[in-house]
Amino acid sequence: MLANIRGKIIWTSNKYLVIETSGLGYKVFATTEVLESQKQNKNEVSLFLYQVVRDDTSDLYGFLSREDLDFFELLINTVSGVGPKSALGILNASPVNSLKQAIVSGDIAHLTKVSGIGKKLAEKIVLELKDKVDEDYGKSEISLRDEVETLEALKAMGYSHKEARNALQQISTKTKDSKERIREALKILGK
């Protein structure tokens, strides 16, 4: 089983990237965060991998951090009805920390923002993962409600969900005030 890949990016699409290593090109499905961060990068990249082997296919899923990979594995190995594509969709909705907060706090509405994730599946995710997610996420310095409000404010200013989410991921967790988080996000988006 493959666990990591390092190589040169030779192609990027809206769902996957192709990484060349040792003369072979590997098609690696990834979150929009990974794809956006690597579109400009034509140099070497290193990703953690998860390989799905079935009778008719063998797919690779790539992640920048071990935490993202661990959460992806937790989703697909614990919650029946959540496959690799759905798990990527869930990871596209919010950063892993926010998703864990939503699970610990039982915020089903946050999870239903993902296309293909209905209320029943979101309830199932919360029920099955609540005890498996670190309790520390329920006591985070930045509340999930504040993060959602900041995200919605940026979207109201004309930024896409993806742009706003990527900017929020770059803001320090020490910045607690919503207005300050919006200011910092605008600075990042203005670069």
Give the least confident one: 20-24, 25-29, 133-137. Answer: 133-137
State residue 81's pLDDT score: 87
SS3 63: strand
Which domains does the chain show, CATH number per domain? 4-63 (2.40.50.140), 66-139 (1.10.150.20), 144-189 (1.10.8)
State residue 74's pLDDT score: 94
The one-letter code for the residue type at 67 is: E
State residue 141's pLDDT score: 46
**C-alpha span between 82 and 118 (Å, rounded):** 11
Strand-pairing partners, residue 9, are 19
Say if CB 91 and CB 71 are below 8 A apart.
yes
State residue 143's pLDDT score: 61
Say if CB 144 and CB 103 are below 8 A apart.
no
Please state, in angstroms and as integers, the Cα–Cα distance from residue 28 to each residue in 25, 45, 62, 151, following that order.
Answer: 9, 12, 6, 28
**C-alpha span between 15 and 38 (Å, rounded):** 12
**C-alpha span between 39 and 14 (Å, rounded):** 10
**pLDDT tens track for 103-155:** 888 888 878 876 668 889 889 999 999 888 865 444 454 566 677 778 788 88
**C-alpha span between 150 and 164 (Å, rounded):** 9
Provide the mean pLDDT of the chain: 83
Interval 33-55 mean pLDDT: 84
Please state, in angstroms and as integers, the Cα–Cα distance from residue 165 to each residue in 25, 147, 160, 188, following that order.
Answer: 30, 9, 8, 11
